[in-house]
């Protein structure tokens, strides 16, 4: 079955609730209607109820009656969430008044609903920049135990099936952490291996990418990748991982065998971990455009509960797909 169909069908078997803080945004409302109709998730929409109802009638979105609507400016638990945010952030200098004001921001309220167990995950970003979606998530939901850095993976679905696992590769970090050190890069590798198992349902073969293969170049940037590979092995001993590897040695069998003889994954990698955000972000976009790959994500990993960020150019289908992925993440938590 096609990967996204499988992900949606797995989501339908769960009973998860996803909060959509951009509840008055047209594509978000159309996606919510589809999600409820298909039974992919229960939905909480944040926004002015009158505006949501008006839009719903305008676009004839009949299934939105099944969504829970919360007005961030006026709801019965507003003080409760203000106090909660104050308790979480007072050590950073947040005052009670500032906290009461911040919970009117749907992006903050969404993370507090998750923290309080009222929602299992969040999808936002159709109308907000990445930083605005991520900052409340980092501050309120925070990272998984043992993980200090959130990163973003893309599931790359290539038309040419010779690459990765029948044309599927997972790339990271392509979205979040600009300049990881070796420890952080190891965490990114481990989280990407787990995302690959949980969402793509394949056994990860992780290549830690560099401009050097097995000491062909000597540079602190290559040493960082080698160290990260060792640390990732310690963190997740059952992981198939190798590095440092150049991209061709990672994915082309003949080159892997000649540049990294004896490596268990060289030439056969299905997970590519980039040494920094510059190469990761540039790399996924080049593969998307030049190879005609479908890039699904970013799937954010390392957060204590799944929160995913859309591109502002997203389509209704992109939102539906990312909600289904978020449900799968919540189920595998
Ligand atoms: N993982 C976990 N926590 C983090 C991370 C991270 N990667 N980065 C920051 N934090 C935490 C900090 O520890 C801090 O927590 P605290 O307040 O409890 O101490 C909080 O988040 C705020 O930290 P800042 O350093 O102030 O972070 P800032 O808000 O400046 O930046 C951000 C965070 C927005 C994610 C920044 O790293 C960024 O802009 N990254 C690039 C995002 C981007 O533009 N990606 C490319 C586009 S996406 C695409 O193309 C698909």
Residues 217 and 320 in one domain: no
- Distance (Å, rounded) from C-alpha 65 to C-alpha 239? 45
pLDDT surpasses 80 at 47? yes
307 lines ligand 1 (CB under 6 A): no
Ligand 1 pocket: which of 115, 123, 138 to mutate (most atoms <8 Å of CB)? 138
- 135 CB near ligand 1 (under 6 Å): yes
In this model, does residue 322 exceed pLDDT 90? yes
Q: Quick one: pLDDT band at residue 253, thresholds 50, 70, 90?
A: very high
8 A C-beta contact, residue 188 and residue 23: no
For the Cβ of 92 lying below 6 angstroms from any atom of ligand 1, the answer is yes
Tally helices (H) and strands (E) across the chain: 13, 11
**Number of the ligand 1 atom closest to the C-alpha atom of 152:** 51
Torsion, CA 162, CA 166, CA 170, CA 174, rounded to 10: 50
pLDDT bucket at 2, cuts 50 / 70 / 90:
confident
Atom number, ligand 1, closest to the C-alpha of residue 143: 2
CB distance 161 to ligand 1 below 6 Å: no
Nearest CA to ligand 1 atom 25: 135
Same domain as 117, residue 50: yes
Tokens of 262: 């004896």
Is the minimum distance from the CB of 131 to ligand 1 under 6 angstroms? yes
Contacts 24+ apart (CB under 8 A), 127-136: 127/22, 127/25, 127/28, 127/312, 128/22, 128/312, 129/312, 130/175, 130/176, 130/309, 132/107, 133/107, 133/307, 133/309, 134/176, 134/300, 134/307, 134/309, 136/105, 136/107, 136/108, 136/110, 136/111
Query: Hey, which of 93, 176, 277, 278 would you mutate to test ligand 1's pocket, going by the most ligand atoms within 8 Å of its Cβ?
Result: 176
Parent domain of 124: 2-142+304-332
Residues 112 and 164 in one domain: no
Distance from residue 232's CA to the centre of ligand 1 (Å): 22
- Answer yes or no: do 290 and 316 share one domain: no
Using CA atoms, how far apart are residues 148 and 26, in angstroms rounded to an integer? 35
Do 311 and 284 lie in a common domain?
no
Rounded distance from Cα 184 to ligand 1 centre (Å):
13
Check if 133 has its Cβ closer than 6 Å to any atom of ligand 1: no
At residue 333, the pLDDT reads: 53
| Residue 29 pLDDT greater than 70, yes or no | yes
* Pocket lining: 149 vs ligand 1, CB cutoff 6 Å: yes
Residues 20 and 99 in one domain: yes
For residue 189, the SS3 value is helix
Q: What is the residue with the minimal CA distance to atom 45 of ligand 1?
A: 175
Identify the CATH number of the domain in which residue 271 sits. 3.40.50.10750
pLDDT on residue 1 = 53
Same domain, 93 and 163: no
Average pLDDT over residues 119-147: 95
Residue 189 sits in the same domain as residue 109: no
Here the CATH number for the domain that contains residue 87 is: 3.40.50.10950
Give the ligand 1 atom nearest the CA of 131: 34
- The pLDDT tens digits of the residues spanning 176-222 come to 999 999 999 999 999 999 999 999 999 999 999 999 999 999 999 99
Cα separation, 153 vs 300, in Å, equals: 6
Share of the chain above pLDDT 70, in %: 99
Q: Is residue 114 very low, low, confident or very high in pLDDT (cuts 50, 70, 90)?
A: very high
199: phi > 0 → left, psi -120 to 50 → alpha, else beta; which? alpha
Ligand 1 near 176 CB (within 6 A):
yes
Q: How would residue 311 be classed by pLDDT, with cut points 50, 70 and 90?
A: confident
Region 157-171: mean pLDDT is 96
Report the pLDDT value the prediction gives residue 137, as an integer from 0 to 100. Answer: 96
pLDDT surpasses 70 at 58: yes
Residue with CA closest to ligand 1 atom 41:
176
pLDDT, residue 332, reads: 82
- Does ligand 1 lie within 6 Å of residue 137's CB atom? no
State if residue 312 touches ligand 1 by the CB under 6 angstroms criterion: no
Structural domain count, the chain: 2
135 and 210 inside one domain: no
Residue 307 has pLDDT above 60, yes or no: yes
Measure the CA–CA gap between 154 and 284, rounded to whole angstroms: 8
Say yes or no: CB of residue 130 within 6 Å of ligand 1: yes
Whether 256 shows a pLDDT value over 60: the answer reads yes
Asked whether residue 189 falls in the same domain as residue 130, the answer is no
Q: 199 and 135 in one domain?
A: no
Hey, whose CA ends up nearest to atom 13 of ligand 1? 138
Residue from 9, 15, 78, 7 nearest 46 by CA: 78
The predicted model gives 80-105 an average pLDDT of: 96
The per-residue pLDDT of the chain, averaged, comes to: 95
The closest alpha carbon to 153, from 197, 109, 117, belongs to: 197
Q: Which residues pair with 294 in a beta bridge?
A: 157
Alpha carbon distance 223, 300 (integer Å): 26
Average pLDDT of span 9-37: 97
Contact 281 CB / ligand 1 (< 6 Å): yes
Domain shared by 272 and 310, yes or no: no
């Amino acid at each position: 079955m096609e990967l996204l169909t499988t992900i949606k069908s797995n989501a339908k078997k769960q009973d998860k609730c996803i909060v959509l803080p951009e509840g008055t945004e047209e594509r978000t409302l159309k996606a919510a209607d589809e999600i409820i109709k298909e039974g992919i998730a229960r939905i909480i929409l944040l926004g002015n109820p009158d505006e949501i109802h008006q839009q719903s009638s305008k676009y004839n979105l009949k299934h939105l009656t099944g969504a829970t609507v919360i007005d961030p400016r006026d709801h019965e638990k507003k003080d409760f969430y203000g106090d909660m945010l104050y308790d979480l952030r007072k050590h950073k200098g947040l005052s009670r008044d500032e906290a009461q004001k911040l919970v009117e921001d749907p992006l903050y309220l969404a993370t507090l609903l998750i923290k309080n167990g009222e929602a299992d995950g969040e999808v936002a970003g159709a109308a907000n920049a990445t930083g605005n979606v991520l900052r409340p998530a980092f501050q309120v939901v925070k990272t998984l135990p043992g993980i200090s850095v959130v990163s973003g993976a893309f599931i790359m679905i290539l038309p040419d099936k010779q690459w990765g696992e029948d044309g599927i590769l997972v790339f990271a970090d392509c979205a979040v952490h600009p300049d990881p050190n070796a420890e952080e890069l190891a965490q990114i590798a481990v989280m990407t291996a787990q995302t690959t198992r949980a969402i793509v349902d394949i056994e990860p073969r992780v290549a830690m990418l560099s401009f050097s293969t097995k000491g062909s170049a000597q540079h602190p940037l290559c040493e960082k990748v080698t160290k990260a590979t060792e640390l990732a092995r310690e963190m997740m001993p059952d992981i198939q991982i190798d590095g440092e590897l150049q991209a061709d040695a990672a994915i082309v069998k003949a080159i892997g065998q000649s540049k990294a003889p004896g490596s268990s994954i060289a030439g056969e990698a299905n997970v590519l971990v980039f040494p920094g955000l510059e190469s990761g972000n540039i790399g996924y976009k080049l593969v998307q455009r030049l190879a005609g790959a479908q890039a699904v994500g970013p799937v954010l990993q390392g957060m204590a509960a799944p929160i995913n960020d859309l591109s502002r150019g997203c389509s209704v289908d992109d939102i539906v797909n990312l909600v289904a992925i978020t449900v799968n993440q919540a189920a595998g938590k």
